[in-house]
């Protein structure tokens, strides 16, 4: 982004950058949500197989990801 000394052009650049950043953020939020969903399925699978250690690790990861997800919500 470059300053143009024309407020309307500068505003257009800022708005385009905002939209781009917002779209990237939305994509990343979807990735995090899908990953959490997948990990929850893995926990169910590991619980049915009696893999307690793996379940604990995955639950810790899920909780950390949920915390990150909450921090990044507006």
- The whole-model pTM stands at 0.72
The pLDDT value given to residue 1: 65
Distance (Å, rounded) from C-alpha 67 to C-alpha 53? 21
Per-residue pLDDT of the chain (74 residues; tens, 9 = 90+): 677 778 888 899 999 999 999 999 999 889 989 999 999 999 999 999 999 999 999 999 999 999 988 887 74
Our separate counts of H helices and E strands in the chain read 2, 0
Radius of gyration of the chain (CA): 20
pLDDT at site 59: 96
């Amino acid at each position: 982004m470059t300053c143009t000394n024309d407020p309307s052009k500068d505003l257009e650049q800022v708005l385009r950058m905002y939209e781009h950043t917002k779209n990237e953020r939305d994509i990343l939020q979807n990735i995090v949500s899908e990953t959490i969903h997948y990990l929850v399925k893995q926990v169910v699978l590991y619980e049915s197989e009696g893999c307690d250690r793996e379940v604990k690790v995955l639950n810790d990861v899920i909780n950390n990801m949920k915390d990150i997800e909450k921090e990044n919500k507006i």
